[in-house]
Amino acid sequence: MENFFGILKQEMFHGVTLNSYAHLEKEIKSDIRWYNEERNKTKLNGLSPVEYRLQTA
């Protein structure tokens, strides 16, 4: 969880201007989806967390 928030702060907020709370919420939801569904992790044999869970279930 700490790793996720570190990545969120480093990648999402760098150079981004947020105009409203709704914009912030949209960006966070988008990053959570990307982190879980698209981001490949070396520790998970190059799979995203969702792909890894589906493969091991």
Tell me the pLDDT tens digit for each residue of 45-56.
899 889 999 998
Whether 16 has a pLDDT exceeding 80, the answer reads no
Q: Count of domains in the chain?
A: 1
Q: Which residue range(s) make up the domain with 16?
A: 2-56
Euclidean distance between CA atoms 56 and 25, whole angstroms? 31
Average pLDDT over residues 11-37: 85
Share of the chain above pLDDT 90, in %: 25
Whether 7 has a pLDDT exceeding 70, the answer reads yes
Euclidean distance between CA atoms 29 and 35, whole angstroms? 10
pTM of the shown model: 0.67
